[in-house]
Structure 1
Amino acid sequence: MDLDLGITGPAQSDDLYHFTGRVGERPNDVPQHIQQMTPQQRLDAIIAERTLRAFPPFGVGFPCACFSESSPEHLAFLIKNRKVKPWGIVGSRNSLLRLGGGAVAYVPDEQYQYFKINGMAHWAVRIGTNSAWMHEREWRIPRQNGTITLNAVRAILIGDASWRPSLVETDEWVNAETGEPCQGPAETPHAQPRQNYPALWQESWVWVWNEDSKSVLKHPPGTLC
């Protein structure tokens, strides 16, 4: 059930972005093979598996998936000035709340220690010297088991209009010799699973970042298949 969160003001947004690429260090808990992936490869894996992987943010021991609340103007700022890559998934405030997420608190050291002592450091970000992160306008989904299943997303964000996710096997069969549908190996030894784009890609809006206009072009579900 959606909560009545009221309207957003001009400085706010109901679009929350989980970016799969950014310039800079990553927390040590992120496995090396994931750190070495490109933003496109990480997004490809999320779409295929319908799963977000949660890892402890810097200075926090609890796994979280992190999002940035971004209006169109703020999205352009993050990409241009904060070296975020235009690849990822887009959710809404209500969708994150339903998954047990919420907005983090930006607090000075003294208040941050209160969160930490009470085992809630993953709900706060320290502000002050060497900790300037308020521009991220961060939301988090804490998840002890480290995985979040995506039944649906508001949109998939890509930075190249020609990019498509990797094909995956479906429950349907096709004759590899003729290309015609078939009932499976019982019908012909040439049967192989039919491949198609992942369901999440087919079901979701796709937002393509346009570097010239510093905005996204929004494509309805199924139009980039």
Structure 2
Amino acid sequence: MDLDLGITGPAQSDDVYHFTGRVGGRPDYVPEHIRMMTPQQRLDAIIGERVLRAFPPFGATLPCVCFSESSPEHLTFLVKNRKVEPWGIVGTRLSLLELGGGAVAYVPDKQFESFKNTGLAHWAVRVGTNSTWMHEREWRIPRENGEIPLNSIRAILIGDASWRPSQIETDEWVTEDGEICPGPGEVPHAQPRQDYPALWRESAIWVWDDKSAEVIKYPPPNTLWCPG
């Protein structure tokens, strides 16, 4: 997509976060095993499967994956003041637009009903006494089939520098001593080699430092390993 989004002002950001832990409950139509996961477990599943799963936002019927546009200062506000968990993945405004996403409209009840009556409730958030979510600065990617494959992302956000995702099986084989080998056809007891998922190895790692209340950014582990 050939788009010029222009520059961002000081209150804007090109970074959009899909947090795996958030304030508030989750609708009953989200599978229970997902609702019961910790933010770390949800992030682990996303990294290992390379898939984001979409569910209908409150007040809508079309499944969406939701993001928050956050400058460094706004990210600090979300974590410190709104109790958002600093775990998730980071994309860009352009990457969301290329996937058919965009920023939502924050509108009063009457205008929200207009969105809803035309089947576009997933593009709006109702504002009012019982719906105060403008701080989320939300972007959404609608997806009828409920899944968005992840080829690449800007970064992975973690709240603990020592955390690592679960290792998965690769296409390589190793001996009992961990040496690369041709496979069980030639080496008895050969086992698939375990490694961190490609998305983890290929993505920048952003670590939330609670003491300084800011993110410390590291290049992909394939380039330079981050501390932990």
TM-score by length of 1: 0.97
Q: 1:191 is matched with which residue?
A: 190
Superposition map of 1:72-151 within 5 A = 72-151=72-151
Is the partner of 1:152 in helix, strand or coil? coil
Is the partner of 1:85 in helix, strand or coil? coil
Q: Cα deviation per residue 1:67-115 (whole Å; 9 max; x = unaligned)?
A: 0000001000001111100000000000000111000001111111111
Q: 2:207 is matched with which residue?
A: 208
Q: How far 1:2 sits from its partner (Å)?
A: 4.3
TM-score by length of 2: 0.96
For residues 224 and 72 of structure 1, what CA distance do their matches in structure 2 show?
23
Unaligned runs of at least 5 residues, structure 1: none
Q: 2:14 is matched with which residue?
A: 14
Is the partner of 1:172 in helix, strand or coil? strand
Q: Is 1:2–1:94's contact at 8 Å kept on the other side of the alignment?
A: no
For residues 44 and 111 of structure 2, what CA distance do their matches in structure 1 show?
39
Is the partner of 2:131 in helix, strand or coil? coil
Q: How far 1:44 sits from its partner (Å)?
A: 0.2
For residues 224 and 174 of structure 1, what CA distance do their matches in structure 2 show?
23
Q: Cα deviation per residue 1:1-54 (whole Å; 9 max; x = unaligned)?
A: 341000000000000000001232112221111011010000000000110010
For residues 35 and 67 of structure 1, what CA distance do their matches in structure 2 show?
18
For residues 133 and 68 of structure 1, what CA distance do their matches in structure 2 show?
11
Q: Which runs of 4+ in 1 moved over 2 A?
A: none
Change (3 A) 1:139 1:129: same
For residues 100 and 174 of structure 2, what CA distance do their matches in structure 1 show?
41
Give the partner amino acid of 1:68. Answer: S
For residues 203 and 168 of structure 1, what CA distance do their matches in structure 2 show?
15
Is the partner of 2:65 in helix, strand or coil? strand
Give the partner amino acid of 1:86. Answer: P
Is the partner of 2:90 in helix, strand or coil? strand
RMSD across aligned positions (CA): 1.0
Q: Is 1:63–1:146's contact at 8 Å kept on the other side of the alignment?
A: yes
Unaligned runs of at least 5 residues, structure 2: none
Q: How far 1:182 sits from its partner (Å)?
A: 0.6
For residues 64 and 21 of structure 1, what CA distance do their matches in structure 2 show?
16
Q: 2:168 is matched with which residue?
A: 168
Is the partner of 1:42 in helix, strand or coil? helix
Q: How far 1:224 sits from its partner (Å)?
A: 3.5
Give the partner amino acid of 1:151. Answer: N
> Does 2:220 align with 1:221?
yes
Q: Cα deviation per residue 1:113-132 (whole Å; 9 max; x = unaligned)?
A: 11101000000001112011
- The percent of aligned pairs where both chains have the same amino acid is 75
**Residue-pair matches, total:** 224
Q: 2:25 is matched with which residue?
A: 25
